[in-house]
A and B are shown apart, each in its own frame.
Chain A
Amino acid sequence: MLLGLLEPTSGSIRLFGQDFIRDRFSVLGRMNFSSPYVDLPQRLTVRENLMVYAKMYGVFKPRDRVAEVASSFRLKALLDRRMRKLSSGQKTRASLAKAMINNPQFLLLDEPTASLDPDTTAWIRDLLGQYRKERGTTILFASHDMREVELLCDEALLMRQGKLVVKGSPKSLVEKFERDTLEEVFLQVNREDAP
């Protein structure tokens, strides 16, 4: 719904002060997203894909921006390689680079570190944290990795069967449920009714 791919049956969505349901196109250019369930065209190279999306989002000096995100995501050596020849971790990095191509003010990331090795996961996590701090970007982050949520998020929303069960900072949720980790909170929330 927050991407405009599904129309809500009720309620409203306001993004950047605008009614997203009525006029999503005015704000979509300020957002971006990455998901393991959506691919970039496999026959195109990483550079071609990034150029297409840089132009699509109307980025000024697209070549420079492509070079910038390629450098940020350690993709420089892979720029002229076709997507289909990348490993799944490299694909994830390319997809994240695409998600950053327009310097979004609102970034939606679905399992952004899925299929990455622990070293790259930590590095991506730092990169996202730094990006958020520098740009003041809001990142909405869907993850089943509660450790990652604890490390990266100011606020967590735990859902069960599509319904919001509880929300708060990871620390406050741990305290509220009298658990040691957010993962334990997650398990409790998914196994029984929340207090």
Chain B
Amino acid sequence: MTVHSDSSLNRISALFIRYFYLLRSSWPRIIEIAYWPTMQMVVWGFVSKHFAPSSPELTAGGLLISVVLIWDTLFRSHISYTLAFLEEMWSRNLGNLFVAPLRPWELILSLSSISMIRTLIGMVPAALLAIPFFGVSVFDMGMPLAFFFFNLVLTGWAISQFVTAILIRYGLGAESLSWVLPFLIAPFSCIYYPLSTLPEWMRRIAEFLPTTYVFEGMRALLLDGVWRKDLLLQAFGLNLVYLTIGVVTFLFSFRIARKHGLLLQSGE
């Protein structure tokens, strides 16, 4: 007789282990995770060096390199989450998962956990290499860095909820959305320029994005030495709103997929 335990922690850790096995099964994958953020850092590091004499407001305090790295956090957290979900579709394993007693929210937590690990694997080496390469340490920001980082991770996960909702509903035909959707908010997020640069209509949209407050907060910290907790709170509040809407959208999409028998037909 096999003894069972009906615990969410078991199921979440089982799925986390599944992604961990996948990660360790291929060293090129691990290198690839760190490769893109490092390349971004190197390219933008030289751009920053080039503009330093003529545009100090763009590069002071390692601003340009820091915002590039922090923006990449959003993309990494999103793509790590979405790729883990896509792995299940590519390997035709969704059927096995959804007939197991795995609740959709447990799937979301497992994907978020592995996304966090992959984001750290990607971002930490790039951030560390920026120190000897360009003399810029994002770690000098201290505690605020953790808040900036965590907020962008949350934004990445919120976007992932919408993307996975679309994937579960429309299958692999919608795969390319995973790569392009985060860039939809890039022009409004004020990554490389302050909010005041945007025209009025874009500013109104930007004010509804958590990313705007993160990058405004970073600029305030790196250029003026002021930690604007109010901006971080606004970012966090908006992230909670979008994450909630995203999770509800995913659960709704999951329900629709069950209704129409799409959970086993997730191909192109």
Contact = CB atoms under 8 A, between A and B. Distances in A.
Q: Do the two chains belong together in a single complex? A: yes
Interface of A: 3-7, 25, 28-29, 31-33, 35, 37-45, 48, 51-61, 65, 82, 98, 102-103
B4 A60 contact: yes
Contacts of A52: 14-15, 17-18, 21
A6 to B, nearest CB: 4
Nearest to A69: B2
B91 A42 contact: yes
Nearest to A32: B99
Interface stretch (B5-13, B175-183, B212-220): B5-13
Interface in B57-94: 87-88, 91-94
B14 A102 contact: no
A20 to B, nearest CB: 12
Interface string B247-263: 00000000100110101
A5 B93 contact: no
Nearest to A35: B95
Interface stretch (B42-50, B100-108, B198-206, B233-241): B100-108
B22 A41 contact: yes
A4 B22 contact: no
Nearest to A4: B99
Interface residues on B, range: 35 or more
B26 interface: yes
Given A5-B258, A29-B100, A44-B21, 10 more contacts: A3-B95, A5-B261, A32-B99, A37-B95, A43-B25, A43-B91, A44-B22, A48-B21, A55-B11, A98-B96
Q: Is the interface of A mostly helix, strand, loop or mixed?
A: loop
Contacts of B51: none
B264 interface: yes
B99 A56 contact: no
B98 interface: yes
B4 A55 contact: no
B1 interface: yes
B10 A53 contact: no
Nearest to A52: B18
Contact of B10 (A38, A43, A58): A58
Given A56-B11, A57-B101, A29 B4 contact: yes
B100 A56 contact: yes
**Residue from A38, A44, A60, A82 with most neighbouring chain B CB atoms (10 Å):** A38
B17 A41 contact: no
Contacts of A31: 99
Contacts of A29: 4, 6, 100-101
B3 interface: yes
A48 B255 CA distance: 30
Contact of A53 (B1, B26, B100, B264): B100
B92 A39 contact: yes
Contacts of A98: 96
